[in-house]
Amino acid sequence: MPVRQIDQSFTMTYQFPVCFDRDTLAPENPLLRDIVERAGDGPHRVLPVIDQNVLEAHPDIVDRLQLYADTHGEALELIEPPLIVRGGEISKSEPTEVDEFYLRTQTQNIDRHSFALVIGGGAVVDAIGYAAATAHRGIRLIRMPTTVLAQNDAGIGVKNAINYRGRKNYLGTFAAPFAVINDFDFLATLPARDKVSGIAEAIKVALIRDGEFFSWLHDNREGLAAFNAEPTEYMITRCAELHLNHIRTSGDPFEQGSARPLDFGHWCAHRLEEISASELRHGEAVAIGIALDSIYSHLKGMISIDSLNRIRATLEGVGFTLSHAALESLDINKALQDFREHLGGKLCITLLTCEGAAQEVDEIDHVLMERCRQHLLEGTWPS
Ligand SMILES: NC(=O)c1ccc[n+]([C@@H]2O[C@H](COP(=O)([O-])OP(=O)(O)OC[C@H]3O[C@@H](n4cnc5c(N)ncnc54)[C@H](O)[C@@H]3O)[C@@H](O)[C@H]2O)c1
Ligand SMILES: [Zn+2]
């Protein structure tokens, strides 16, 4: 027993809106102004941080931001110039982006009452989320995710991360954003590959949480592959809703336990991203991971062949290629061990019990998993 012990305990409520919108930067659109005003009387200083590829695809974005701030000067004051950062995984793998953000906070006196407004893909949102959470122990962050994957997953939750010495997401924090604005209009300029990539997270969360949504994804796979606006926007909204529900109701928003149902298919996905030196997009690697763990679930007798066939049809139907050279170099043993370490000691892998429900297991049959890899590599799934 210590000489004296004081049991410290307090609770804190987190609250942030996740909005789905169009033309957010139109001067007459009040959403961004209203969000900033939730912080009290303004004007509030706002540093825009923009993904270079978003800027290239939307060259008027800086002028539009300025016009917006001029129109709503009582609420927002832009910190100039905007910080333009490289898009994609490089923003997480090299220290430049995070460092430039820290430098700006120092040289322009950006404090905990100021805002960072990050506009970009999941990688930039993750990197700047990490920088904003650590500068001054936390600057208010408004996220404006601009990819499918960032709008339905990466940009809406409470995590951020950067990579460290080649290890994916090694440095990161749990930090709730001030608000999230998913503006669907950004998606029009996404490369085809990135349009498809984000659908993996919707298939993932549907398979573990919502069989009806999975059936919907299966039935709408052609419309999703064609990126028709109506199914795409529904897919993003429902996927985001399921992620948010999980974070709110799981009882473990900051992942202190070992179970990570939202990481279904991810134990190998992160390794595949590393092996391919990020040539594989996160969503593409997740699609392969879902396929691998679905085949394993079937061979373990947990899901039917019909379900397995529907999973394959959905993944391939929306446009994923499920065999990739990186799979050949995957060290299954090491990948599972790394995942266990990441969880904090106990292995916990999510498998499927049907379309819409999952089960955690603490052991993987390596010989069987090896067979699953061969099925995927050769494109000869169990039948
Ligand atoms: N924090 C989390 O909870 C979480 C969850 C899932 C994924 N992630 C992370 O998200 C990242 C993947 O995000 P992603 O799939 O958005 O990829 P990404 O950020 O790499 O974006 C893909 C490409 O599209 C470009 N781009 C972004 N928006 C565009 C637009 N509107 N028009 C044209 N080009 C645009 C980007 O610059 C990039 O080149 C990974 O690093 C992954 O680890 C984080
Ligand atoms: Zn993911």
Q: Are 18-189 and 192-378 equal in CATH topology?
A: no
Q: What is the pLDDT of residue 344?
A: 78
Instruction: Report whether residue 205 contacts ligand 1, using a CB cutoff of 6 Å.
Output: no
Residue 257, pLDDT above cutoff 90: no
Nearest-atom number in ligand 1 for the CA of 86 is 37
Q: What is the pLDDT of residue 234?
A: 98
Instruction: State how far the Cα of 208 lies from the Cα of 312, in Å rounded to an integer.
Output: 15
- Residues linked to residue 361 through DSSP beta bridges, in sequence order: 349
Residue 269, pLDDT above cutoff 80: yes
Phi/psi for 46 (5° steps) reads -130, 120
Instruction: Report whether residue 177 contacts ligand 1, using a CB cutoff of 6 Å.
Output: no
Nearest-atom number in ligand 1 for the CA of 52 is 37
Of 117, 230, 130, the C-alpha closest to 178 is 117
**Which of these CATH numbers, 3.40.50.1970, 3.10.28.10, 3.50.50.60, 3.40.50.300, describes 18-189?**
3.40.50.1970
User: What is the tens place of the pLDDT at every residue in 330-370?
Assistant: 999 999 998 888 887 789 999 999 999 999 999 999 999 99
Instruction: Report whether residue 260 contacts ligand 1, using a CB cutoff of 6 Å.
Output: no
More confident residue, 201 or 250: 201
Handedness of CA 206, 211, 213, 214 (dihedral sign): positive
- The radius of gyration of the chain's CA atoms, rounded to the nearest angstrom, is 21
Cα 7 to averaged position of ligand 2 atoms, centre (Å): 37
Confidence of residue 258 (pLDDT cuts 50, 70, 90): confident
Asked if the peptide bond before residue 81 counts as cis, ω within 30 degrees of 0, the response is yes
Residue type, 330: L
Q: What is the pLDDT of residue 321?
A: 97
Listed by start position, the domains of the chain span 18-189, 192-378
Segment (H or E) for 46: strand 44-51
Cα 185 to averaged position of ligand 1 atoms, centre (Å): 16
Instruction: Report whether residue 186 contacts ligand 1, using a CB cutoff of 6 Å.
Output: yes
Residue nearest to atom 7 of ligand 1 (CA): 154
Instruction: Report whether residue 314 contacts ligand 1, using a CB cutoff of 6 Å.
Output: no
Pairing of strands 83-85, 167-174: unpaired
Residue 162, pLDDT above cutoff 90: yes
Contact predicate 147/138, CB 8 Å: no
Nearest-atom number in ligand 1 for the CA of 158 is 3
What is the SS3 assignment for 265?
Answer: coil
Nearest-atom number in ligand 1 for the CA of 53 is 37
Residue 111, pLDDT above cutoff 80: yes
What value does the mean pLDDT take over residues 283-300?
A: 98
Residue 255, pLDDT above cutoff 90: no
Tell me, which fold does domain 192-378 have in CATH? Dehydroquinate synthase-like, alpha domain (1.20.1090)
Residue type, 256: Q
Confidence of residue 42 (pLDDT cuts 50, 70, 90): confident
Instruction: State how far the Cα of 76 lies from the Cα of 24, in Å rounded to an integer.
Output: 14
What is the SS3 assignment for 143?
Answer: strand
Non-local (6+) Cβ contacts of 240 within 8 A are: 18, 20, 151, 152, 153, 156, 182
Q: What is the mean pLDDT of the chain?
A: 96
DSSP 285: H
Instruction: Report whether residue 189 contacts ligand 1, using a CB cutoff of 6 Å.
Output: yes
Instruction: State how far the Cα of 198 lies from the Cα of 237, in Å rounded to an integer.
Output: 12
Instruction: Report whether residue 143 contacts ligand 1, using a CB cutoff of 6 Å.
Output: no
Instruction: Report whether residue 147 contacts ligand 1, using a CB cutoff of 6 Å.
Output: yes
Confidence of residue 182 (pLDDT cuts 50, 70, 90): very high
Instruction: State how far the Cα of 373 lies from the Cα of 297, in Å rounded to an integer.
Output: 13
Residue nearest to atom 40 of ligand 1 (CA): 123
Cα 156 to averaged position of ligand 2 atoms, centre (Å): 12
Report the b/e string of 268-285 with b at 16+ CB within 10 A: bbbbbbbbbebebbbbbb
* Distances 96 to 59, 72, 83, 114 between C-alpha atoms, Å: 23, 32, 12, 22
Residue nearest to atom 27 of ligand 1 (CA): 121
Q: What is the pLDDT of residue 343?
A: 80
Confidence of residue 94 (pLDDT cuts 50, 70, 90): very high
Instruction: Report whether residue 36 contacts ligand 1, using a CB cutoff of 6 Å.
Output: no
Cα 208 to averaged position of ligand 1 atoms, centre (Å): 23
Instruction: State how far the Cα of 243 lies from the Cα of 72, in Å rounded to an integer.
Output: 33
Cα 370 to averaged position of ligand 2 atoms, centre (Å): 23
Report the percentage of the chain scoring pLDDT > 70: 100
Nearest-atom number in ligand 1 for the CA of 168 is 43
137, burial (CB in 10 Å: exposed 0-12, middle 13-18, buried 19+): exposed
Residue 183, pLDDT above cutoff 80: yes
Segment (H or E) for 164: strand 159-164
User: What is the tens place of the pLDDT at every residue in 70-91?
Assistant: 999 999 999 999 999 999 999 9
